[in-house]
Chain A
Amino acid sequence: MESAQSDGSLPPVASPRRGSRWWRRLRQNRTAIAAGLVLILIACGAAVASWVTPFDPNLGGSLRDGLQGPSQRYWLGTDQVGRDILTRVLFGSRYALLAGIQATTIALVIGVPLGLTMGYYRGWVDRLLLRFVEAAVALPAIVLALVIVSVAGPGLTRAMMAIGLVYSMVIARLARGLVIVAREEVYVDGAKTVGNGATRIMWRHILPNIAPALIVQTTLLFATAVLAEAGLSLLGVGASTNQASWGRMLADARNSLNESIWPAIPPGLAVFATVLAFNTLGDGLRDAFAREARGGRLGIATVTARPTSTAPTSPPSDPDSMMSVRDLEVAFPAIDGPGDVRVVQDFSLDVGRGEVVALVGESGSGKSVAAMSLVGLVPDPGRATAGSIMLDGQELVGLDFESLRNVRGTKVGYVFQEPSAALNPAFTVGRQIGESLREHAGMTKSQARRRAIELLDRVGIPDPHLRIDSYPHQFSGGMAQRVVVAMALACSPRFLVADEPTTALDVTVQGQVLDLIDGLRREFGLSVLLITHDLGVVSDLADRVAVMYAGQIVESGPLHEVFRSPGHPYTEGLLLAVPRNVRRERSLPTIPGVVPPPAEWPTGCHFGSRCAYVEPECHTSAIGLTVGQRQVRCRRADELTLVGIDRPTSRGIS
């Protein structure tokens, strides 16, 4: 939704950059920001330690000053030999950060190239190295550090190098896994075909895309490195006696533990705060980098009544229809800035009994959102309001969630584009069909099974008594879609919503599914709302058609009339732009430009900026839909004579 300016005319304002998107998400995470501030504070403390304190971290005062509590002179008191604890904590942050930087630098320098190479080339090199990496990760880092220190002698840098080596294996394993996924992306094939070598693909194309995950992991490793330093120094193999590290302070405090517990508390808290801050920041970064992870969920909002004062005048809903909706509006909170974006506006539609009505439109026209909102399936942060939604004589507006759920379960069936997404791969199809029968029709297990076999038989699945125990992946695309249709029919609904039911199928299979839906309509008097972008599918199945553009129905009426003599310039443009199986005469007519994003829809005609017949008056005020069997949302509907399907090449519109 954030993309799409019209071709050629760009908005003058700078659009948000990639960086600013995750930065904005990070800023909203208060805890992560607080953690970041804590870390900045610690880093500042480390930087200015020598200037802000009057004491030397390693030289004690007189023994008289030993083990004092906090006072005016020593804000955090003194340790056993009279050294100022605040000074030592400040200097200790230097060693903590130094230790973290040493360990993570080594981890990245070794781990990233290793992981990239293993993941990109795979093969025997990968298999060999992976065994080695796995073995190294299995070793506790601290134990390895102890071994190295015991061989090479103590020292903070040596200990951290050992830690870094183990961490590099963690980084390598993570990078390898990420690269294995990333190298299958199409953009990697694209990079190969323009002539990039393997090294360039790894470093220039793949690494920037997997960097976020590596950054998060590095942050977390930094925290464990700080802990490791404290642990090793406490054991006496890290920082030496004249290095005022936090671990060293804890070791010193241990010696005087019998006299006072106080000297252990400030360094302990410092370690605790630093590690907590790094971990919190790492989690915050992970959330910020996870792109659009929270979108796309179907909400459970009910449809609320629309205040009558704002409703445009429209005829009352048709009591004889299967489904009759008046003045549906769906709005989402704007992505940036206050207010709402109305993605479906002024939507009124009737579906008669036994009738197939096609809702046609391009992606982003709002056709799916409108159809789902009819029964209270509003995508997550959206809100739906309507004057009236009558389904089989029942008013749905204002129903509570539980009643709506019951309506969805018993009166409405759904078929979606991707059969694989509609079926749960973990359960047999029999169980999935039976589930709603037991839930909504109150059948027993064996009744549900019998009915499921009947349904599979009805939708044309051979050997239904055997296939009922198959899992979804054991069906081909067309057969899986038949299973979805069987599921939709389980509770004998009167109304079927079919959202792009054949788009994911091969064209020779498409016809069979269309015939199936048509047969069900004839046999059971099913009413169907068919959502599609394919005008050929519309003409195969539909009785009536409603064309949607940018959130509004721009034209509706009987199929033959609308396709033969369209009343709206957009309908004309669509009909002309479809390549048909005819001898080529010239280039395809096109509709210039692109659909503007919902936030930029004007108050005047939504199609105005792309219309060949536009007049200045079209932009001034909202355009209403004409009333009657043929409805058109165009100021000039009466004066224009538009070209329909009969004369596909006689005249273009641009």
Chain B
Amino acid sequence: MTRPLLEIANLNVTFRGRRSILPWRRGRDVQAVQSVSLTIGAGETVGLVGESGSGKSTVGRAILHLLRPDSGTIRLADFDVTAFGRREPDGYRRAVQVVFQDPVASLNPAMVVGQIVGEPLGLHYGMKRAAQRRRVAELLVQVGLQPDHADRFPYEFSGGQRQRIAIARALASEPDLIVLDEPVSALDVSTQSQVINLLEDLQSTTGAAYLMIAHDLAVVRHVCQRILVMYRSRIVEEGSSDDVCERPAHPYTELLLASIPDPNPEVQREKARHRRELAVENAKPVATTGCPFAEHCPHTMDICLTTFPEPTQLPWGSRVSCHLYNQGETRDPRGSK
């Protein structure tokens, strides 16, 4: 078996609280990511799903070397990201790229599109002006824009078009992996589907792998082959997209799926009923070492309050971190409902 393109093992990231010599003014440290492991094969699309504050974007930023993890390893192709010093090797910056959520903030307002998209060409391939211009024109056409857009400033474009510019920049260095951090959640419905299709088309021509970080499980299911579900700094479930969405094993995944409203009123009435059944509040205090979902879980047991479970492999291939599956028996979530 060939080595996967990206391997993350046991990643931990802590955000330090505010430093102060006065002990009562010190901020608390926040564990943003705990023992996260994931792999992405070449050309694969993997989804990382979770709510705001779950740590999903932090994982992406660690891969991009925009922050420094406390422990764990990140290996991409032949690069050991966690061993980098302050400045990473140029080859690494070529190999992994990013598209951020906010297409307004992620493009430098003082540069024209040609400079934005052409910059990586100059940095990584030493391309001169004229060569850059030609390649930028090709890239713009590739993402559905026009060559003469190169002379315009980002503010002259709509949200969807700006996201296309960000994608063109990400493609410029011909990366092996593109981190898509909520790439469509700021876009309108009709633009969203255009950008999703564009990303899929580009993947079939460039062969780049995608890590798609998003909160919308329906979008992620449509785009990704595998999904990892994160809840408050930990991965609670992972599996193929269809498995995770059709037979969710973790109670949190089940709640998440029930919470996505469906445009079909009949389907939605049924989902809303299910959602209300699942919504519970447990008053018992949960230790920091316990399962973070125990507060809201309909199945909370005593062990959940103190110990976070090791991942269990399920017969259909998903892996879940839940004590319901650590008892030797296998609970079929759909059947037990």
Q: Which positions in A face B, CB cutoff 8 Å?
A: 2-4, 7-8, 10, 15, 17-18, 185-187, 189-197, 205, 208-209, 362-363, 477, 506-508, 510-512, 514-515, 533-540, 559-560, 563, 573-575, 577-581, 583-584, 587-592, 594-595, 645-646
Q: Given A510-B259, A588-B196, decide whether A7 and B97 contact each other with a Cβ distance below 8 A.
A: no
Q: Are B146 and A8 in contact (CB under 8 A)?
A: yes
A538 contacts which chain B residues (CB < 8 A)? 263
A594 to B166, CA, bound (A): 18
Q: How far is the CB of A364 from chain B (nearest CB, A)?
A: 8
A15, A511, A573: the one within 8 Å of B190 (CB): A573
Interface residues in B154-209 (C-beta closer than 8 Å to A): 155-161, 166, 169, 172-173, 188-194, 196-197, 200
A575 contacts which chain B residues (CB < 8 A)? 263
A477 to B53, CA, bound (A): 12
Interface presence of B80 (CB below 8 A): no
Q: How far is the CB of A112 from chain B (nearest CB, A)?
A: 16
A560 to B217, CA, bound (A): 25
Cross-chain pairs A/B with CB under 8 angstroms, 29 sampled: A3-B157, A7-B161, A8-B146, A10-B146, A187-B109, A190-B100, A190-B108, A193-B97, A195-B94, A205-B111, A362-B189, A362-B191, A507-B256, A511-B272, A514-B261, A514-B272, A533-B189, A536-B261, A536-B262, A537-B261, A539-B262, A577-B190, A578-B218, A579-B219, A579-B222, A583-B246, A587-B196, A591-B190, A646-B264
Q: Which positions in B face A, CB cutoff 8 Å?
A: 51-52, 61, 64, 66, 87, 90, 93-94, 96-98, 100, 102, 105-111, 119-120, 123-124, 144-146, 148-149, 152-153, 155-161, 166, 169, 172-173, 188-194, 196-197, 200, 215-219, 221-222, 241-242, 245-246, 255-265, 268, 272, 275-276, 279
Q: Are A362 and B188 in contact (CB under 8 A)?
A: yes
A588 to B201, CA, bound (A): 12
Q: How far is the CB of B52 from chain A (nearest CB, A)?
A: 6
A17 contacts which chain B residues (CB < 8 A)? 153
A508, A580, A588: the one within 8 Å of B263 (CB): A580
B258 contacts which chain A residues (CB < 8 A)? 511
B158, B161, B215, B222: the one within 8 Å of A584 (CB): B222
Q: Given A186-B102, A574-B189, decide whether A563 and B265 contact each other with a Cβ distance below 8 A.
A: yes
B51 contacts which chain A residues (CB < 8 A)? 506-508
Q: Are B194 and A590 in contact (CB under 8 A)?
A: yes
Q: How far is the CB of A609 from chain B (nearest CB, A)?
A: 13
B159 contacts which chain A residues (CB < 8 A)? 363
Q: Are B160 and A190 in contact (CB under 8 A)?
A: no
A646 to B155, CA, bound (A): 39
B144 contacts which chain A residues (CB < 8 A)? 7-8
B124 contacts which chain A residues (CB < 8 A)? 195
Q: Given A194-B93, A591-B190, decide whether A18 and B155 contact each other with a Cβ distance below 8 A.
A: yes
A514 to B275, CA, bound (A): 12
4 smallest beta-carbon distances between A and B, as pairs: A536-B261, A195-B93, A4-B158, A208-B110
Q: How far is the CB of A555 from chain B (nearest CB, A)?
A: 15
A506 contacts which chain B residues (CB < 8 A)? 51-52, 215
Q: Are A195 and B106 in contact (CB under 8 A)?
A: no
Q: Given A190-B166, A195-B123, decide whether A581 and B259 contact each other with a Cβ distance below 8 A.
A: no
A10, A192, A512: the one within 8 Å of B66 (CB): A192
Q: How far is the CB of B101 from chain A (nearest CB, A)?
A: 8
Among the interface residues A185, A506, A510, A533, which one has the most CB atoms of the partner chain B within 10 A? A506
Q: Are B123 and A594 in contact (CB under 8 A)?
A: no
Q: Are A577 and B192 in contact (CB under 8 A)?
A: yes
A7 to B145, CA, bound (A): 7
Q: How far is the CB of B247 from chain A (nearest CB, A)?
A: 13
Q: Given A193-B93, A194-B119, A209-B109, decide whether A560 and B265 contact each other with a Cβ distance below 8 A.
A: yes
Known: A189-B98, A194-B123, A536-B268. 11 other contacts (CB 8 A): A10-B149, A185-B105, A190-B106, A195-B173, A196-B119, A477-B52, A507-B215, A533-B188, A537-B261, A539-B262, A646-B264
A550 to B134, CA, bound (A): 36
Q: Are B190 and A574 in contact (CB under 8 A)?
A: yes
A196 contacts which chain B residues (CB < 8 A)? 119, 123
A510 contacts which chain B residues (CB < 8 A)? 259, 261
A2, A477, A540, A578: the one within 8 Å of B189 (CB): A578
B194 contacts which chain A residues (CB < 8 A)? 590-592
Q: How far is the CB of A151 from chain B (nearest CB, A)?
A: 40
Which residue of chain B has the shortest Cβ distance to A646 in the bound complex?
A: B264
Q: How far is the CB of A103 from chain B (nearest CB, A)?
A: 27
B158, B161, B272: the one within 8 Å of A540 (CB): B272
Q: How far is the CB of A591 from chain B (nearest CB, A)?
A: 4
B111 contacts which chain A residues (CB < 8 A)? 205, 208
Q: How far is the CB of B146 from chain A (nearest CB, A)?
A: 7
Q: How far is the CB of B223 from chain A (nearest CB, A)?
A: 8
Q: How far is the CB of B159 from chain A (nearest CB, A)?
A: 8
Q: Are A205 and B108 in contact (CB under 8 A)?
A: yes
Q: How far is the CB of B321 from chain A (nearest CB, A)?
A: 18
A6 to B192, CA, bound (A): 15
B193 contacts which chain A residues (CB < 8 A)? 577-579, 588-591
Q: How far is the CB of B270 from chain A (nearest CB, A)?
A: 11
A537 to B260, CA, bound (A): 9
A588 to B109, CA, bound (A): 32
Q: Given A187-B106, A594-B161, decide whether A645 and B119 contact each other with a Cβ distance below 8 A.
A: no
A574 contacts which chain B residues (CB < 8 A)? 189-190
B105 contacts which chain A residues (CB < 8 A)? 185-187
Q: Are A194 and B261 in contact (CB under 8 A)?
A: no
Which residue of chain B has the shortest Cβ distance to A506 in the bound complex?
A: B51
Q: Are B275 and A511 in contact (CB under 8 A)?
A: yes
Which residue of chain B has the shortest Cβ distance to A17 in the bound complex?
A: B153
Q: Are B188 and A3 in contact (CB under 8 A)?
A: no
Q: How far is the CB of B195 from chain A (nearest CB, A)?
A: 9
A563 contacts which chain B residues (CB < 8 A)? 263-265
Among the interface residues A208, A511, A559, which one has the most CB atoms of the partner chain B within 10 A? A511
Which residue of chain A has the shortest Cβ distance to B124 in the bound complex?
A: A195
A209, A362, A508: the one within 8 Å of B108 (CB): A209
A536 to B217, CA, bound (A): 13
Q: How far is the CB of A532 from chain B (nearest CB, A)?
A: 10
Q: Are A512 and B279 in contact (CB under 8 A)?
A: yes
A595 contacts which chain B residues (CB < 8 A)? 158, 188
B100, B153, B173, B215: the one within 8 Å of A186 (CB): B100
Q: Are A539 and B261 in contact (CB under 8 A)?
A: yes
B268 contacts which chain A residues (CB < 8 A)? 536, 539-540
Q: How far is the CB of A196 from chain B (nearest CB, A)?
A: 7
Q: Are B265 and A539 in contact (CB under 8 A)?
A: yes
Q: Are B215 and A594 in contact (CB under 8 A)?
A: no
Q: How far is the CB of B15 from chain A (nearest CB, A)?
A: 14
Q: Are B260 and A536 in contact (CB under 8 A)?
A: yes
Q: Are A579 and B196 in contact (CB under 8 A)?
A: yes
Q: Are A581 and B245 in contact (CB under 8 A)?
A: yes
Q: How far is the CB of A623 from chain B (nearest CB, A)?
A: 20
Q: Are A3 and B197 in contact (CB under 8 A)?
A: no
Q: Are B98 and A209 in contact (CB under 8 A)?
A: no
Which residue of chain B has the shortest Cβ distance to A558 in the bound complex?
A: B265
Q: How far is the CB of B224 from chain A (nearest CB, A)?
A: 10
B120 contacts which chain A residues (CB < 8 A)? 194-195
